[in-house]
Copies of this chain bind each other. A is one copy, B any other.
Amino acid sequence: MSIVVVGSVAFDSLKTPFGAREKILGGAATHFSLSASYFTDVRVVAVVGEDFTQEEESVMTRRGVDTRGIQHAKGKTFFWKGEYGENVNEARTLDTQLNVFEKFDPQVPAEYKDSDYLFLANIDPALQVRVRDSMKRVKLVGGDTMNFWITSQRQNLNEMLKRVDILLINDGEAKMLADDSSLPRAANKVLEMGPKALVIKHGEYGATIFFRDGEFGGGHHPFRAPALPLDEVRDPTGAGDSFAGGFMGYIASQGEITRRVLKHAMFYGSVMGSFAVERFGTERMQSLTREAIDERFNAFRELTHLD
């Protein structure tokens, strides 16, 4: 099964306690695509500028990612500059240049329209709504958002929430979206806004999936996946998108969407997130093997399972 992802492709300049990199390949759709490519066929919808070369595109195509949906526009590619201090959970944005991303008008190529799965990475919710509505036959829609849209585009975001089956956000976003400081209460409020399931990512503490009662063949009981205790988080950029790639990619590879599949997808999401932060940018996501992924999956199982 194939999955379409719509989102940003970007250049990132990063500084972490482990070093710095200038203008390396980044963006939510990039991290998602590379991660999901270890599980299923991936098709990207994005926009890049004239500074985006064949070299960058081949990072994706080498992993079998279909890049026909990447528009090449006049101008520069979306650029983000940030740094992380000792607390790697908090990024400090030093510069954001939207460039061609500012007028991004996502077009899903006709060749993509037979995809059963769709992931709406973190972009303007109005665009997320339009893309989702242009792909009527998809079986499952995953989506992401961020604080900026929660505060500035609430009405469009509400429309988006009615159109995603599974929303993936972090603790702070969930609490902000629900206006509730209790995570479980916030989760239930978000589920009332539309999604059938909600994945809340807790950074180094893992992630929890909450369900609307009766959806995906089960009750309302949540399920929690751990994160791997890692001595060195070299670069946290893209961890959440790599999580989403592993999560959605695994689901798309299974053909059925049961609780069992979703639980395993939570583990694969955590696995891919744990790999992503081991090196800068997309480095680790370029060089994985399915064997290494399944080995780490087993490590996650040992970390959490009693028997």
Contact = CB atoms under 8 A, between A and B. Distances in A.
Q: What's the interface size class on A, roughly?
A: 35 or more
Interface string A181-207: 111110110000000000000101110
Interface string A85-126: 011000000000000000000000000000000000000000
Interface in A170-226: 181-185, 187-188, 202, 204-206, 208, 210, 221-224, 226
A302 interface: yes
Contact of A303 (B222, B301, B303): B222
Nearest to A202: B205
A222 B306 CA distance: 12
8 contacts: A183-B204, A184-B230, A184-B231, A206-B224, A223-B304, A224-B303, A224-B304, A304-B305
- The DSSP consensus for interface residues of chain A is mixed
Given A210-B229, A224-B226, A304-B304, 13 more contacts: A86-B181, A182-B231, A183-B204, A184-B230, A206-B224, A221-B302, A222-B303, A223-B303, A224-B229, A260-B306, A260-B307, A267-B306, A304-B305
Contact of A306 (B204, B231, B305): B305
Nearest to A263: B306
A208 B205 CA distance: 10
Contacts of A202: 205
Contact of A205 (B87, B206, B232): B206
Contacts of A86: 181
A163 to B, nearest CB: 26
A305 B305 contact: yes
A63 interface: no
Contacts of A226: 224, 304
